Amino acid sequence: MHRTRNLIILVVALVSIVGIALFASNRGRGDALPVKMQRIALTTFTVKLPENGVVMRPLAATVPTLIAGNIGSINVKAGDRVSDGQVLATIANPTLIFNAAGSQADYSSAAANISAARVQEENARVGYQAAVDTNRSALEEARRVYDSDVTLYDNKAIPRNQLDQDRSKLEQAQVAYSQALEQAKLGAISGFNGNSVQYAEAAARKSQILNAQNQQQLAFTRIVAPFSGTIQTVAAQPSDPLRSLQSGDAVTEGQAMFTIAGNGGYIVKAQVDEQDVINVRLGQRANVSGQDFPNKTIAGHVAHIAPVATKSTDATSTAKQVLTTIALDSSPSFLKDGMTADVDILTTYVPNAVVVPNDAVTKSGSKTYVFVVENGIARKRLVRVGRVADTQTWVTSGLAPGDTIVTTKVPGLADGRLVKPLPSPSPS
């Protein structure tokens, strides 16, 4: 009897508990918290360093006239493509032509004088050697006569005075021969003709230098392209900026005549703040856009980082900047030298990354987590993060593609809380 009553009481209690649980569950589902959700898909994570820059050609130069005179001809106009060494213009200067012709003649004459001096030197050397040979022959003959006289004198065949006379002639021949040898040595030291060859060579070198200078000045009457490229500008008259220089116009030494840009693709020069350059490396990707070419983005990469930091071009700033070159992967026709551009250097670029909004990440002490939605219930999940950008966080572990997360911080959101997608706003 008591067992039956206890069993009935137990069944009633279990039914009550199940009923209360079902009631609470249905009531909880009716109180599901509306939140913004996002399904995880692999994407590219980037951290951007925004800078301003200027579009330009990688190789550009101003071509001046290196001499004064009057323009003979101008052979190109703005927009023309030219090759290395092509004549762009000529300068008329009769004085230079006269000087170059005169110095060329002087140099030719000086070079001929060297040949003449060498002939004279050889003649002098032959003359000195001939004197040595003649006096040596005379000496040998005088010695032969004297030696014969000694024999004859011993045999009482000639008188004493004859022997003395021949000995005197031998001594004189010896002196003459010695003098000829010394003169030949001195002639060799002095160049046999008063150093005429050395003098002629020195005069020719001097004439050659003067002639080279004059010929170079004459060559400057032809203004040539320093490299292959496109003519950007042709100089205007100083008194009339709307009128280009023409034949007959006077020009001064050093006056700019043309600007020329190389045929390579465009680059962008950007000034990176000295505090940010630590994050910039060669080869990093970069995106270039600008108000001058709206809705267009050109990909590029960091090609050069200046080795020194320079004072900012902003007079009110005390910071220093590092000139950084961005090489563009393409050069669309709408780009023009001198355009202002916006540069985003991608200091971090991670393809196929798990990326979540910054508001989806919550920190509690040393732990970092996000809310993952499983069967309508928000669950805390520990994650590890990499870099953090302005609006996004790169999650390196803890999430996988296909997971659904809560993307915003909502009051009342807690582990185990029922959630439902926040209705999308109606289109205006």
Per-residue pLDDT, 7: 57
Kindly state the average pLDDT of the residues 143-156.
85
CA distance 160 to 156: 9
Tokens encoding 229:
């490229």
| Shared fold status for 49-58+265-350 and 61-92+221-262 | no
Per-residue pLDDT, 395: 96
Distances from the Cα of 273 to the Cα of 37, 301, 306, angstroms: 38, 18, 12
The rounded mean pLDDT for the chain is: 86
CA distance 199 to 205: 10
For 312-351, give the DSSP string: -S-TT---EEEEEEEEES---TT--TT-EEEEEEEEEEEE
Per-residue pLDDT, 111: 85
Query: Which range (43-52, 214-223, 234-243, 246-255) has the least confidence?
Result: 234-243
pLDDT > 80? residue 384: yes
Per-residue pLDDT, 25: 46
Percent of the chain with pLDDT over 90: 56
Per-residue pLDDT, 242: 78
Q: What's the pLDDT tens digit per position in 43-90? A: 999 999 999 999 998 888 999 999 999 999 999 998 899 999 999 999
pLDDT > 60? residue 211: yes
Q: Is residue 321 within 8 Å of 292, Cβ to Cβ?
A: no
pLDDT > 60? residue 29: no
Per-residue pLDDT, 5: 58
Band (pLDDT 50/70/90 cuts) for residue 394 is very high
pLDDT > 50? residue 26: no
Of residues 127 and 103, more confidently modeled? 103
Of residues 96 and 423, more confidently modeled? 96
Of residues 345 and 162, more confidently modeled? 345
| Domain-wise residue ranges, the chain | 49-58+265-350, 61-92+221-262, 96-216
Q: Assess if CATH 3.40.109.10 describes domain 49-58+265-350.
A: no
61-92+221-262 in CATH: which number?
2.40.50.100
Q: What's the pLDDT tens digit per position in 284-339? A: 999 999 998 999 999 999 999 999 999 887 778 788 999 999 999 998 989 988 89
pLDDT > 80? residue 428: no
Percent of the chain with pLDDT over 70: 89
Q: Is residue 275 within 8 Å of 269, Cβ to Cβ?
A: no
Per-residue pLDDT, 23: 43
What single letter denotes the amino acid at residue 51? E
Q: Is residue 293 within 8 Å of 334, Cβ to Cβ?
A: yes
CA distance 320 to 271: 9
Kindly state the average pLDDT of the residues 23-52.
81
